Amino acid sequence: MLLTDSFLDYLLYERNYSEGTVKYYRSDILELQDFGKEMLGDLTPSDIDAELVREWIASLMDRGCASSTINRKLSSIRAYYKFLLRRGEVAVDPLRKITGPKKKKPLPVFLREGEMDKLLDDTDFGEGFEGCRNHLIIEMFYATGMRLSELIGLDDKDVDYSASLIKVTGKRNKQRLIPFDEELKFSMQEYVNVRNETIPVRSDAFFVRENGKRLYRSIVAYLVKRNLSKVVTVKKRSPHVLRHTFATAMLNNGADLGSIKELLGHESLATTEVYTHTTFEELKKVYNQAHPRA
């Protein structure tokens, strides 16, 4: 456990990973160690070999784990053994010849522009503070493409109205600036006025509950799902769908992939390129519906 703890401290304090991410790494490492212990008894990291890892993968597949989940677990173990190799704690990486199961990437789910117009312009969000706040949350996801964690992490000081910029803190605590237009600026200022009048004592958070404290994930996820249900019937109705909707709308209206990548905070352009496939699939649907010989 000492080696594992050292690795987790390294991720947390040197690599600046979030506590939530570090918990996943810990869970994955302990899961492999427990599997090895069940199969062969007490083991050190050096005792774990490629054959045991393959048996672990097979057991995960037998349990019905998705390919993406298995590959995430393997990624955790790989990072752990790279750390141990650098420290001289092991001589061999048991995963050096291991490949995870191939996964088919589903195309992102998104809403069409007409559906978003109907949601933002024609849907009743209710009166008062909550109605104003919930409408702004949907509008901000669509106008900025920010992640759920970034939205609930916003503080008042992160919004620069004079420069029309929002500073968000993304994965691995990386910060970026997202511009916003006059329409979103008006909505934010309207919300802040209602919020300050309704809740004079509150935290530094931009989005708050009626008790003045910061919103948490489940509240936002619920209100997004509830309101998306008013205009679409797709199974997935999460804040991430609005992030996909933002990216797809930007691409469809002429934005280049590099700009979308920066706005979304993607590290790799390959991650952003999935939206080109999305729009191509949409083009194929339009063609098949409209062309008389299709």
**Residues identified as active-site:** 147, 171, 240, 243, 266, 275
HEC profile for the chain?
A: CHHHHHHHHHHHHHCCCCHHHHHHHHHHHHHHHHHHHHHHCCCCHHHCCHHHHHHHHHHHHHCCCCHHHHHHHHHHHHHHHHHHHHHCCCCCCCCCCCCCCCCCCCCCCCCCHHHHHHHHHHCCCCCHHHHHHHHHHHHHHHHHCCCHHHHHCCEHHHEECCCCEEEEECHHHCEEEEECCHHHHHHHHHHHHHHHHHCCCCCCECCECCCCCECCHHHHHHHHHHHHCCCCCCCCCCHHHHHHHHHHHHHHCCCCHHHHHHHHCCCCHHHHCHHHHHHHHHHHHHHHHHCCCC
Question: Are 145 and 247 spatial neighbours (Cβ–Cβ below 8 Å)?
Answer: yes
Residue type, 65: C
